[in-house]
């Protein structure tokens, strides 16, 4: 791929790879190839009636081995918010983890688009909760706590796969959650911003960990997996997607030149590029975890199962690393840092970060 030369200073050249978010990465070559193909095809019908959107939809149906309903939207916040809104009335509620993206990072989008459906967060103290997971017990406790008319009626369980803590629900864990959901007549939404990383970790089929395990709707993340932009909302139960197209349009999420969102999906889905990208990101997280674990004074949290590594560093070390130009977020109270790996994270970038952490931590123990 050639980079157009830029006159504007500072816009050309390749920047250092960072670990703040998997969204820092660019788009993968396969996605860009099909983006260019979609542009080269000249005039195409707009608003999703084009052959690229049809092809990407067919490929997703093949991948999930079911005639699902697929909608391409711009980002994950919209995918989650609109999917949840379609499962709820305004007087309903959605059960989720206290660290769920829908609770902490969507600016009230799910509540806004559902006209007020309340998010009910589960307890945060159990071992599972510390790993970012919901459990059947926690769900049961919330559903049975109040059943009177003064409290919003639980209608949906939302789980994030892979979780915000870089862990992955096993097949049995998902099945146990959907079983308790069915018992209480709740629908199941899966925030799959990192669905690819979860499937790469589990080594199961996408169908097994979703609809065959009882999931009703999946928000399948493309952006973090290597697309320039775009997520797919996948309804396995087509009754639930009634009117969804109108909801997407009203929310400003219907791309007029839809092919530029859908065509890159062809690049991800063809030859399992999505899975290769995710496997690579996961492998880089393992490499980083191993590197950080070996440094005295760094305490890593749980072992990574997806593409994120969590570790405690002294605040001064965090400051020094930031001053050295490393970008990463501190999510957990007391200096917990999150390091995300992407589809294109190079082993050399991991090594460079580990070397700098070692250098900074060495400085500490020397002066401590």
- Site of interaction with ligand PLP (CB under 6 A): 75-77, 80, 101, 160, 164, 191, 193, 223-224
Whichever of 168 and 298 has its CB closer to ligand PLP, that residue is 168
At how many degrees (to 10) do helices 51-64 and 259-269 cross?
Answer: 40
In whole angstroms, the minimum distance from the beta carbon of 51 to ligand PLP comes to 26
In whole angstroms, the minimum distance from the beta carbon of 110 to ligand PLP comes to 11
Whichever of 82 and 213 has its CB closer to ligand PLP, that residue is 82
In whole angstroms, the minimum distance from the beta carbon of 162 to ligand PLP comes to 8
* 284 close to 347: Cβ distance less than 8 angstroms: yes
* Rg of the Cα atoms in the chain: 21
What sign results for the dihedral spanned by CA atoms 295, 299, 304, 309?
negative
Give the other-Cβ count within 10 Å of 145's Cβ: 10
∠342-348-351 over CA atoms, to 5°?
Answer: 95
Q: How far is CA 154 from CA 52, 113, 319, in A?
A: 38, 17, 43
In whole angstroms, the minimum distance from the beta carbon of 191 to ligand PLP comes to 5
Q: What are the respective helix, strand and coil percentages of the chain, to the nearest 5?
A: 45, 15, 40
* Position with the least CB separation from ligand PLP: 76
In whole angstroms, the minimum distance from the beta carbon of 76 to ligand PLP comes to 2
In whole angstroms, the minimum distance from the beta carbon of 150 to ligand PLP comes to 31
Whichever of 227 and 298 has its CB closer to ligand PLP, that residue is 227
Whichever of 22 and 50 has its CB closer to ligand PLP, that residue is 22
Query: Exposure pattern of 4-39 as b/e (b: 16+ CB <10 Å)?
Result: eeeeeeeeeeeeebbbebbebbebbebbbbbbeebe
Residue 252, C-beta contacts closer than 8 angstroms, at least 6 positions apart: none
Whichever of 275 and 340 has its CB closer to ligand PLP, that residue is 340
Strand, coil or helix: 21: coil
Whichever of 189 and 259 has its CB closer to ligand PLP, that residue is 189
DSSP string computed for 167-195: ----HHHHHHHHHHHHHTT-EEEEEETTH
In whole angstroms, the minimum distance from the beta carbon of 323 to ligand PLP comes to 27
Alpha-carbon span 273 to 278, nearest angstrom: 8
Residue whose pair of structure tokens reads 């169908």 in the numeric block: 207
Parallel/antiparallel/unpaired status of strands 336-340 and 329-332? antiparallel
Whichever of 291 and 308 has its CB closer to ligand PLP, that residue is 308
In whole angstroms, the minimum distance from the beta carbon of 100 to ligand PLP comes to 7
Whichever of 107 and 355 has its CB closer to ligand PLP, that residue is 107
């Amino acid at each position: 791929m050639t980079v157009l030369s830029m006159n504007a200073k500072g816009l050309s050249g390749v920047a250092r790879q960072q670990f703040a978010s998997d969204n820092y990465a660019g788009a993968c070559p396969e996605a860009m190839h099909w983006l260019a193909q979609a542009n080269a095809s000249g005039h195409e019908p707009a608003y999703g009636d084009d052959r690229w959107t049809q092809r990407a939809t067919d490929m997703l149906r093949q991948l999930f081995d079911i005639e699902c309903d697929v909608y391409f939207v711009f980002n994950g916040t919209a995918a989650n918010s609109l999917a949840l809104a379609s499962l709820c009335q305004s007087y309903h509620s959605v059960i989720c983890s206290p660290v769920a993206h829908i609770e902490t990072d969507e600016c009230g989008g799910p509540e806004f688009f559902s006209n007020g459906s309340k998010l009910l967060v589960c307890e945060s103290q159990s071992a599972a909760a510390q790993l970012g997971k919901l459990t059947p017990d926690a769900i049961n406790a919330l559903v049975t706590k109040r059943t009177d008319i003064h409290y919003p009626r639980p209608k949906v369980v939302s789980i994030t796969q892979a979780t915000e803590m870089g862990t992955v629900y096993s097949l049995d864990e998902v099945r146990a959650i959907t079983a308790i959901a069915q018992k209480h007549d709740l629908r199941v939404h899966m925030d799959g911003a990192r669905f690819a990383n979860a499937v790469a970790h589990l080594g199961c089929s996408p169908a097994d960990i979703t609809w065959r395990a009882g999931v009703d709707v999946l928000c399948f993340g493309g952006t973090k997996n290597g697309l320039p932009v775009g997520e797919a909302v996948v309804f396995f139960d087509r009754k639930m997607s009634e009117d969804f197209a109108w909801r997407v349009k009203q929310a400003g999420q219907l791309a007029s030149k839809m092919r530029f969102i859908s065509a890159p999906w062809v690049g991800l889905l063809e030859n399992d590029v999505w899975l290769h990208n995710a496997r690579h990101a996961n492998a880089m997280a393992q490499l980083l975890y191993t590197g950080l674990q070996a440094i005295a004074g760094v305490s890593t949290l749980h072992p990574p199962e997806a593409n994120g590594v969590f570790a405690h560093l002294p605040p001064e070390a965090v400051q020094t690393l930031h001053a050295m130009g490393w970008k990463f977020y501190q999510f957990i109270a007391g200096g917990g840092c999150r390091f995300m790996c992407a589809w294109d994270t190079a082993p050399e970038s991991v090594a460079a970060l580990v070397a700098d952490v070692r250098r900074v931590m060495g400085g500490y123990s020397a002066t401590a």
